Amino acid sequence: GVLDLEEIRHDYQRELFIERTNNLQPFVGGLEAQLSSGEITKEEFDLKIREHILGEIHKEQGLIDKESVEGIERNRLEKLKVFWRQHTKSRIAVGVGLGVAAATGVGGAAVVVGRAAMGAAGTYTGVEAGLERFTEVLGHKGLIQQINKELPPVVKRPHYAERDLMRHDAILARSLKKSVESIPDEEIKKEAARLRMLQVEKGMSVGDVAEMYGNRNAQIGKLILERDDQIALDNVTKGINMEGSPLEYHQILSNRLSVELNERNKITESDIDKERVKKIFRKTIAAIAGAAVGWAILRPGPTPEPAPKPTPEPIPSPTPEPIPITPEPIPYSVQDGDVLWKIIESDIGNKGLLNGLTEGARTHAIDSLKDAFDKLDPDSLKALGFTSGDADVIFKGNELMLSGVLDNTAFVTKSLVEAGKLSVGELQEIVSNNREIASWLTAHRSELKSVYDSQMIDQVLRGQI
């Protein structure tokens, strides 16, 4: 299942790269012709190139904004939480009525059920809010609050003249821009990735919140996202040296843009995975607490405590065999259909290192080793033979130097031991996910391969599918 998913992701990135290259070729060619004939200056040529590349970057942000409207936070329990917070007066009135009915004995079983439902809903909402520690949707990492403290206070006095309010807004806008521009590029990238994750997780768009409600935190977040786009634009367009290059100008632009956007999406996906794990924990604890309160109200009386269950003996972790050290590293030559995950599985499997591990533990160990390559920057990956600068994009004929990770005895042993220590629940979840993905892909694989063309990519970019 994981292998098929990696293959689909690889195919999608490749088709997207081809689509961008085909779009850039006529556009850049037309500008070069105008530049040669003297219709436009070099400065105008560079400006039009930057505007076009920025438009491609904004397509990615547009997809995130559209996806945020259908944020995964909007599930049934989330609707219950929102309803609970929005109808405070109705909630108090119903609670008082149920309390009076319980005290007078009116209503019987229906009142008890109503009190149990109210208690369970209130406990769920309160426990989850406590676990979140009342953090705001934006700025809980401290960067946005730090910028906010350095800005002038918000003017709320109604007797201020319109001219004074406009002057204050202009001063605030300049201060905001200056504060965001003073932040180092690396901090901007990290915060922008976190904001994109929150857009998907919380079901909202930072830009829409900033424009519709004038929320200052959202305005700062919008400026951070715009600054991140400018950083990506500079990385794509600046410092291009065509001397001795076998590629044309539009091909270099397309290569750089693909590497930049793939790296950005990889960071955002990692943040989304971390946030989902935290959210699963919060909602599970809150749901258990709510169910416990509801049951405490419903049950007729005290029940005898059940006898303690015997504690199962811990399952010993598998002891991996020593990893043979290769005196001279031998590069791996990429073949048709190869992906990095499959290569790693074959390498350590041939050494017998996966023997004794369950399916879930095997998947965890291979993912851990692949993460070592995912964390490398594009230049380091190119030095190891990944000509694309992306661990997920490899081509037939690439000579990959993998021994630095796969022949590192300490690192591989650590990954295998950690995989062996996974709980039964974690292993079952990994196996279940693998089977669901594999089953779906098996049923739809021919359909997916047949529709991955330029028309499909265009529909994805336009948000039509």
pLDDT per residue over 238-271, tens digit each? 888 777 677 888 888 888 888 888 887 777 777 6
> Which residue ranges make up each domain of the chain?
332-461
Two tokens at 87? Answer: 């109808």
Cα–Cα distance, 359 to 354 (Å, whole number): 9
CA pair distance 373, 408, nearest whole angstrom: 13
Range list of H helices, 403-453: 403-406, 409-420, 424-451
pLDDT of 440: 45
pLDDT in tens, 367-426: 888 888 888 999 998 998 989 888 888 888 999 988 888 888 888 888 777 877 766 566
Instruction: List beta partners, residue 400.
Output: 332
The residue assigned the tokens 């530049």 is 35
Torsion angle of C-alpha atoms 17, 18, 22, 27, degrees rounded to 10: 10
Look at residue 33 in the predicted model and tell me its pLDDT: 92
294, 121 in Cβ contact below 8 A? no
pLDDT band for 324, please (50, 70, 90 cuts): very low
What predicted TM-score, i.e. pTM, was given to this entire model? Answer: 0.45
Half-sphere exposure of 108 (CA within 13 A, CB side): 1
Question: What's the CA gap between 389 and 370, in Å, rounded?
Answer: 15
Question: What does the pLDDT look like over 146-199, one tens digit per residue?
Answer: 776 766 665 555 555 666 667 767 777 788 788 888 888 888 888 888 887 777
